[in-house]
Structure 1
Amino acid sequence: MLRVPDKRLALQAYEQILELILTGKLQPGELVNERRLAEILALSRTPVRDALLMLEGEGLLLRQGSRGLQIRQVRIEDYMDALQIRLMLEPAAARIAAGKVAGERLSQLTGQLQSILAEGDGKRADRAVVREVDEALHGTIADAVGNPQLSSIIRTLRRQTLMFDLRSMPERLGDTCREHMAILAAIGAGDGETAAAAMASHLGRVRDSIIQRLTRT
């Protein structure tokens, strides 16, 4: 019973540190200073330490012996490997999730995507809002499968790819919103095959855009 508040604080610290990583305030290769982080987050070192262990377990932090933990430098090869696994898992998750997500939730997510598009095809939208909606959409689909282990794996893979996404391809925001709405529409209609195809198409276009950008002369 006494550990519940500590667990809650650890999750709070986890989300805040993850935000610092994803927004670039903690740079790849930077060593993590536990005491400094505790001061920044206005938390004790215990929940911060627990949060850092969680992030290490997800592969976003690397242990450098006596030097402590370091923000992982995500290489393009790591990104592509993670995206390939997502292409195997997430279309299957979308197929299973079809017809299993509450209509209210689908309407909420669709409305948020439409709002982003209204901000000038997504190009002027707040990146934090875009990421929040993206996380909510993929997380909702993963959770609807009813397999906590699968959901955890998908979320971990997404965080690894998000570290690259946030620094690249802002021009894809509009297309991403429309692709997401197509996925939600298929899930709402209970059409598993169309949902799976829409998810595979979305992730495939993300992959192709990355390759195109890297090979651009």
Structure 2
Amino acid sequence: MDSARQGKEAAKATGGVNLADMAYRTLLEMILDRRLRSGELIVEDRLATALSISRTPLREALVRLASEGLIRKEFNRPYRVREVSSREYFQSMRLREILEGEAIATAAARIDPVRLQAMKAEMLRLRDEPQVRFEDHWAADEVLHTMIAEASGNEVMAQIIRDLRVTTRLFELSGLPSRIRPDCLEHLEVIDALADGDPAKARAAMESHIRSLAKDVLNDIARA
């Protein structure tokens, strides 16, 4: 496993302050960049050796990842990266369309304009960047959708949206091609609608974005 050097460097960087946090960040990155793939078993001994840590902080990291819905553990079985079926994915996307449409309509009058402009600048940068790192795209996507959900003021809805996004992200990480440029263009439409302070326009932009993503995924599956 090529994470051995990365784990040692991360341990040096933290000065041993919090090995569980270091392990969590490393494992999260391994899931997001597909070094730990959907359905893959997580062998604790091997990971602990690769990260140069004991199993105690590793287990703390695994519990945290499980609480966020990224990995699962069955009785008397090792942890496994959570698998998401296409059925669960499309059902989750339909719920996201409904809930994130409601969240953005509520957020239109509440969102911080300074943060919104900073988000627009980042999306423009990603749009115009010839070679966008997958991780940078995911990070910007996460910031925007989370910012909108939280700006709705409905904490229960925001948490459900976060959970649904974990589900859909895991499915999209299973090998589907990325759609960075279309995402950036759709995100810019969402941001402009929010900047206008128009709840109906913002809702329409968000719902269109989520339907567009689901449609592209469906087409990718059909071509496979």
**8 Å Cα contact 1:38-1:48 kept in structure 2:** yes
Structure-2 change in CA distance of 1:156 and 1:206 (3 Å): same
TM-score, with structure 2 as normaliser: 0.82
Point out where structure 1 has 5 or more consecutive residues left out of the alignment.
1-7
* 1:68 alignment partner in structure 2: 78
Question: Alpha-carbon deviation of 1:33?
Answer: 2.5
Q: Measured at CA, do residues 148 and 46 of structure 1 come closer, stay the same or move farther in structure 2, by a change above 3 Å?
A: farther
The equivalent of 2:176 in structure 1 is: 168
State the match for 1:127 in structure 2: 134
User: What RMSD in Å do the two structures reach over aligned CA positions?
Assistant: 2.2
Listed as ranges, the gaps of 5+ residues in structure 2 are 1-17
Give the corresponding residue for 1:92: 102
Q: How does 1:147-162 map to 2 (within 5 A)?
A: 147-162=154-169
| 8 Å CA contact retained: 1:14, 1:54 | yes
Alignment of 1:25-64 (within 5 A): 25-64=35-74
Q: Is the 8 A contact 2:41 2:80 kept in 1?
A: yes
What is the aligned partner in structure 2 of residue 24 from structure 1? 34
Structure-1 residue corresponding to 2:119 = 109
**Percentage of matched positions with identical amino acids:** 35
CA distance in 1, matches of 2:48, 2:170: 23
Check whether the contact 1:99–1:188 (CA below 8 A) recurs between aligned residues: no
**Once the 2 structures are TM-superposed, how far is the Cα of residue 91 of structure 1 from its aligned partner?**
0.6
1:90 and 1:154 mapped to 2: Cα distance?
7
TM-score by length of 1: 0.84
Q: Is the 8 A contact 2:69 2:166 kept in 1?
A: no
Q: Distance in 1 between matches of 2:102 and 2:168?
A: 19
What's 2:128 paired with? 118
1:5 matched to which residue of 2? none
| Separation (CA, whole Å) in 1 of partners of 2:73 and 2:53 | 22
Aligned with 2:163: secondary structure? Answer: helix
The aligned length equals 206
CA drift at 1:103: 1.7
